[in-house]
């Protein structure tokens, strides 16, 4: 009888979804780390303070100041010869795609056909490590990521499988018929070539379904193709997306490539406009008034990409946005590779090193270093929706920070080479060398529910 009752109790507990009562494992006291910063930059104010101590307990910052008492037993990290600043944000990138001159002739439509989600997920994991090594602790990963490679990457990093930035994934870009493709009828109708790179959504019902699917599969932002096709999305369509996306607290980014599309996105009150090329000074003024972020994806002219003429326009557009006080994020669209991406000594550049070259455009637009730093950090955190929990080097925040030689407030080129990286209070890079051991685990040590 007793046995039967025990069995029944067990069944009831299972049905009710109750966890078996188990004593919580004894928690080791959180590790305490003290960083001695020779110079500490606050990009919010564009100022620096000398000889600061940052006290970190576990994953978070506990205290910051010149006279913080370092408790006995704390690990002391001496960065007194370096400048410490918050980690960087790429507010528009694509971690799970790398299109190439060979074999795709830079046609990223072909990458979808030739490389499946598993390979692209592994590329994304590698790109995450490379980005973190260059100081990028947050990335907005906005589409063209095969079958939810982006949300899987976020989940794997959050659960503790491997190091990487905090990923703000969008899932597949939502677009009206065709997305960014112009597929032939047989590929579109019989082979469903659009999916998973794009979700076709035309009617209000389809739009709602698409947004909810992305949220279900882990999206933390929603990416919309505003005007990839002449039929595009109306102001009402965009408003519907914004309304649905509120359920996941997701900001909505619109891919914009025409002035008309830009106007519709602005009228609908979108959160972020992706790509700055179609925007006029009038658009910039309206964006500033409404607080709409710009992720301009401002490609510099380099040995591996771009042209002088195109670069000139890009820098002029960025300057106009700056002059009109648009909230500017650092953003790149960095999702390609070719064999000219090498350093002077012949070694390959990493995805992170290529990404940071985009400051060339900001320099050419004559934007002061303090404002470039703000775009690279504070405005990026805000656009990513993480500003309340990570980014600023303040008590209560996750300890994500980097250190560089020199003073980026005087010479922004200092951010090109990051010698120290901390993510969630753990050292990822020190003295210019990656030390990622603490980030690799054989299971979801931070909890399998984390996504
Ligand atoms: Zn893009």
Dist. CA 189 → ligand 1 center (Å): 25
328 CA from centroid of ligand 1 (Å)? 16
Q: Tell me how far the alpha carbon of residue 179 lies from the centroid of ligand 1, in angstroms.
A: 13
Task: Tell me which DSSP letter residue 402 carries.
Answer: E
Collapsed DSSP state (helix, strand, coil) of residue 194:
coil
The Å distance, Cα 450 to ligand 1 centre, comes to: 26
**Coil, strand, or helix at residue 173?**
strand
Which helix (H) or strand (E) covers residue 428, if one does?
strand 426-430
What spacing in Å lies between the alpha carbon of 203 and ligand 1's midpoint?
24
Q: Find where tokens 């035309």 sit.
A: 202
Residue from 418, 422, 431, 417 nearest 393 by CA:
422
Q: Residue written as tokens 């002219």?
A: 301
> What's residue 13's pLDDT?
45
**Helix/strand/coil (H/E/C) assignment for every residue in 176-193:** CCCCCCCCCHHHHHHHCC
SS (H, E, C) 209-234: HHHHHHHHCCCCEEEEECCCCCCCCC
- What pLDDT, on a 0 to 100 scale, did the predictor assign at position 188? 95
3-state helix, strand, coil split of the chain in percent (to 5) is 35, 25, 40
Instruction: Collect all residues with Cβ–Cβ distance below 8 Å to 159 and sequence separation of at least 6.
Output: 444, 445, 446, 447, 448, 450
Q: Angle between the 204-216 and 235-245 helix axes, to the nearest 10 degrees?
A: 30
**Ligand 1 center from residue 91 Cα (angstroms):** 10
Q: pTM here?
A: 0.93
What is the CA(112)–ligand 1 centre distance, in A? 15
Q: Which residues contact 127 (CB under 8 A, 6 or more apart)?
A: 95, 96, 98, 351
Ligand 1 center from residue 98 Cα (angstroms): 12
Place of tokens 């067990």: 10
**In 3-state terms, what secondary structure has residue 74?**
coil
Q: Which residues contact 352 (CB under 8 A, 6 or more apart)?
A: 130, 131, 132, 133, 134, 135, 136
Q: How far is the CA of 92 from the centre of ligand 1 (A)?
A: 6
Distance 325 CA to ligand 1 centre (A): 23
The Å distance, Cα 257 to ligand 1 centre, comes to 11
How many Å from the N-terminal Cα to the C-terminal Cα in the chain?
A: 44
Question: Residue 272 C-alpha to ligand 1 middle, in angstroms?
Answer: 12
Tens digit of each residue's pLDDT, the chain (451 residues): 445 554 544 444 444 444 445 565 667 789 999 999 999 999 999 999 999 999 999 999 999 999 999 999 999 999 999 999 999 999 999 999 999 999 999 998 899 999 999 999 999 999 999 999 999 999 999 999 999 999 999 999 999 999 999 999 999 999 999 999 999 999 999 999 999 999 999 999 999 999 999 999 999 999 999 999 999 999 999 999 999 999 999 999 999 999 999 999 999 999 999 999 999 999 999 999 999 999 999 999 999 999 999 999 999 999 999 999 999 999 999 999 999 999 999 999 999 999 999 999 999 999 999 999 999 999 999 999 999 999 999 999 999 999 999 999 999 999 999 999 999 999 999 999 999 999 999 999 999 888 7
- Dihedral angle sign, alpha carbons of residues 299, 251, 164, 394: positive
Compute, in angstroms, the gap from residue 185 CA to the centroid of ligand 1.
25
Q: Report the half-sphere exposure of 438 (CA within 13 A, side-chain side).
A: 13
For ligand 1, the distance from its centroid to the CA atom of residue 437, given in whole angstroms, is 32
Q: Are strands 336-337 and 99-100 parallel, antiparallel or unpaired?
A: parallel
* CA dihedral of residues 397, 398, 404, 407 (deg, nearest 10): -10
Partnered with residue 183 across adjacent β-strands are: none
d(CA 109, CA 86): 36
Of the candidates 197, 14, 230, 12, the one whose C-alpha atom is nearest the C-alpha of residue 107 is 197
**C-alpha 347 – ligand 1 centre gap (Å):** 27
CA of 25 to the centre of ligand 1 (A): 45
Ligand 1 center from residue 443 Cα (angstroms): 32
User: How many H-runs (helices) and E-runs (strands) does the chain carry?
Assistant: 15, 19
Q: How far is the CA of 232 from the centre of ligand 1 (A)?
A: 17
Q: What are 93's strand-pairing partners?
A: 141
Distance 255 CA to ligand 1 centre (A): 8
Q: At what angle do helices 308-323 and 281-290 cross, to 10 degrees?
A: 40
- Tell me the two tokens of residue 415: 């951010």
- For 24, the token pair is 């919580």
Cα angle value 41/47/52 (rounded, 5°)? 45
| Ligand 1 centroid to residue 229 C-alpha, Å | 16
Separation of 8 CA from ligand 1 center, angstroms?
Answer: 55
Interval between CA 417 and ligand 1 midpoint (Å): 25
| Distance in Å, CA 63 to ligand 1 centroid | 38
Ligand 1 centroid to residue 275 C-alpha, Å: 8
Cα torsion angle, 303, 304, 307, 311, sign: negative
Taking the centre of ligand 1 as the mean of its atom positions, its distance from the CA of residue 164, in whole angstroms, is 20
Q: What is the largest CA-CA distance in the chain?
A: 86
CA-nearest of 219, 284, 222 to 253 is 222
The token pair at 444 is: 């979801």
The residue with tokens 């039929």 is 231
- CA of 52 relative to ligand 1 center, distance in Å: 38
Distance of CA 166 to the CA centre of its chain: 7
Alpha carbons 160 and 222: distance in angstroms, whole number: 25
Q: Which residue has the tokens 């030739």?
A: 114
């Amino acid at each position: 009888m007793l046995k039967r009752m025990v069995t029944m109790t067990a069944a009831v507990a299972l049905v009710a979804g109750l966890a078996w009562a188990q004593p919580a494992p004894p928690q080791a006291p959180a590790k305490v780390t003290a960083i001695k910063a020779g110079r500490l930059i606050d990009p919010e104010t564009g100022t620096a303070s000398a000889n600061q101590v940052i006290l970190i307990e576990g994953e978070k910052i506990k205290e910051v100041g010149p006279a913080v008492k370092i408790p006995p037993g704390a690990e002391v990290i001496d960065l007194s010869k370096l400048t410490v600043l918050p980690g960087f944000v790429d507010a528009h990138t694509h971690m799970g795609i790398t299109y190439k001159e060979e074999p795709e002739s830079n046609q990223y439509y072909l990458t979808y056909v030739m490389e499946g989600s598993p390979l692209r997920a592994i590329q994304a994991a590698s790109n995450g490590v490379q980005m973190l090594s260059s100081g990028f602790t947050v990335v907005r990963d906005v589409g063209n990521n095969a079958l939810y490679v982006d949300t899987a990457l976020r989940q794997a990093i959050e659960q503790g499988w491997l190091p990487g930035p905090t990923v703000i994934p969008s899932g597949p870009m939502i677009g009206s018929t065709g997305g960014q493709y112009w597929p032939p009828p047989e590929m579109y109708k019989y082979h469903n070539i659009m999916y998973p790179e794009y979700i076709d959504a035309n009617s209000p019902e389809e739009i709602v379904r698409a947004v909810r699917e992305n949220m279900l599969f882990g999206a933390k932002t929603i990416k919309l193709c505003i005007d990839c096709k002449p039929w595009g999305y109306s102001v009402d369509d965009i408003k519907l997306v914004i309304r649905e996306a509120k359920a996941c607290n997701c900001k909505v980014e619109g891919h914009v490539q025409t002035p008309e599309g830009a106007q519709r996105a602005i009228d609908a009150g979108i959160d972020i406009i992706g790509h700055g090329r179609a925007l006029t000074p009038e658009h910039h003024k309206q964006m500033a008034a409404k607080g709409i972020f710009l992720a301009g994806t401002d490609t510099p002219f380099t040995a591996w990409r771009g042209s002088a003429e195109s670069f000139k326009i890009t820098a002029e557009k960025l300057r106009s946005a700056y002059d009109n006080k648009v909230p500017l994020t650092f953003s790149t669209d960095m999702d390609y590779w070719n064999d000219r991406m090498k350093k002077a000594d012949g070694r390959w550049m990493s995805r992170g090193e290529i990404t940071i070259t985009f400051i060339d455009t900001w320099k050419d637009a004559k934007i002061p270093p303090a404002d470039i730093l703000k775009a690279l950090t504070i405005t990026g955190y805000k656009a990513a929706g993480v500003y309340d929990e990570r980014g600023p080097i303040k008590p209560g925040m996750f300890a994500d920070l980097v250190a560089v030689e020199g003073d980026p407030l005087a010479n922004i080129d200092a951010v090109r080479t990051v010698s120290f990286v901390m993510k969630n209070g753990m050292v990822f890079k020190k003295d210019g060398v990656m030390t990622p051991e603490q980030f690799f685990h054989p299971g979801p040590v931070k909890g399998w529910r984390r996504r």
